[in-house]
Amino acid sequence: MIAGYARVSSKEQADNSHALEQQIERLKAFGVEQVYVDVESGRKDNRADFLRLLGDLSLISQVVVTRLDRLSRSLPTLRKAIDQFSRSGVTLVALDDNLDTNTASGKFHINILGALAEMEVDRLSERVKHGHQHHRDRNAAWFPIFGYRKVGDRLELDDAPFLCLLTGETLSKAAIARELIAIFQEKRSLRKTLQAFNERYGIQRYNTPGRKGRGGLGFGVPGLVAWLNNPILRGHIAYNRYRNQHNDHAWDIRYNTHPDHRLLSDEEYNQIADLLQWNSEHGASFRAKTIHPVSGLVRCGECGSGCGCQTSKWRQGVTYWYQCLNYRERGCRQKQMLRESDIEAAVIDALLERSEAIANLAAVADAPSEPPELQALRAELRYYQAAPGHRAAAIVAELQAQITALTQHGVQTTKDQEQNRDLLLACFSDRRTWARIMTLAERRDVYRALVERVTIRDGRVVGVSLKV
């Protein structure tokens, strides 16, 4: 049998340029009886039809490709395939390269062409890397997210008319983006936000691949999370984000690239990020309609597991109890439950005590000291600033970017700590004020901001860990 092999690197090449179709037609015109096809990178050696071709060599007398690099762009893989062809008595024909694998010069020619193909891929990779680095050096933006447009290398809010409602009101993408943020801040839930958003705009989502909601407004829960976490909303841009979607510490953030086109301040984003994190960690365990101020904070002192809320009805009303979730599966010995009111009383006592301690501290402000990591970076920066040569300049730029990012993080951390202290002193000046002016929802939000965890054991609170 005469077999042919055709390959393109991407689906776009196959669909748009018809490169794959052209290869197959040329192979069939040569007299190929069966064509093996892959849409994969030529650097990979685990392509499905490529491996199937190597497995069928006992049935094949000749393998035909349009060019040698269609078979492989990796020289070791190419040599391995040609060795298998030779052992099986199979002749390789490359229509555009005029090859004959039965001669020594033909084998030598194959090695040269394979090395050139590999070098071409490496050079392309180098050009792409240099292009990306040049892009980063200019702090240039890649693609705009919803609510923004790209003007040159910079991002700005997209205030152009985008959507006309049945009421006659015309909205821009930037206005809709602001509204989406406001809905989330009000609803405090991703799904409730999307429900309200879709009810207003009548969005229909499709499960059929390739179809989108009308006008591109079909947000899902993962998409909304990624959008809210995008630094573009805060006036920054980030590189390496898509490869490290769940690890923002690996993002290369360039601060204040478009400060006049923010949709979120850093303070607003910190509140949103805390809420997203909280919902991610605790949302699945506490779905009751009743608001429980200490839900998600209570942990078992025996096994460290979370404690769930249960209800008991008495003549006096409804009482809420917390019990170790592991006890239900007999994974913990802590059977005894504790009233929610007793847990909250212990939390208030701890917060009042901490508030009094902070208020009684002498108001002597020590000079803020930089963290050791920042001091080390500044020392390294001074060394390379004095070093000669152009290589030192690149290192200096990288160190300056690291110092800026670390300084911004330290400033934000200090702000968060000061806000928590101010919140503590404002809310817990005395117990009566706290109990009288706060609703259940407000108490829940304050506890989450100030309390790390509450530990219970043997039917009593054994520890309250605070964030301040």
* Residue 221 C-alpha from the chain's centroid: 13
Paired tokens of 6: 């055709």
* Residue 288 C-alpha from the chain's centroid: 29
| Three-point CA angle 285, 192, 202, nearest 5° | 150
Q: Which of 152, 125, 128 is nearest to 138 (CA)?
A: 152
Dihedral sign, Cα of residue 88, residue 94, residue 100, residue 106: negative
Looking at residue 122, its amino acid is: D
Q: Are 64 and 97 in contact (CB under 8 A)?
A: no
Paired tokens of 118: 């590999």
CB neighbour list of residue 189: distance below 8 Å, 6 or more residues apart:
279, 283
Cβ atoms within 10 Å of 205's Cβ, excluding its own: 14
Q: Are 393 and 415 in contact (CB under 8 A)?
A: no
Paired tokens of 317: 């009303």
Q: Are 2 and 61 in contact (CB under 8 A)?
A: yes
Q: Are 296 and 312 in contact (CB under 8 A)?
A: no
Cβ atoms within 10 Å of 177's Cβ, excluding its own: 20
β-bridge mates for residue 419, sequence order = none
Catalytic residue annotation: 9
CB neighbour list of residue 30: distance below 8 Å, 6 or more residues apart:
2, 4, 64, 93, 95
Q: Which of 309, 317, 304, 306 is nearest to 292 (CA)?
A: 309
Q: Which of 269, 189, 207, 278 is nearest to 236 (CA)?
A: 269
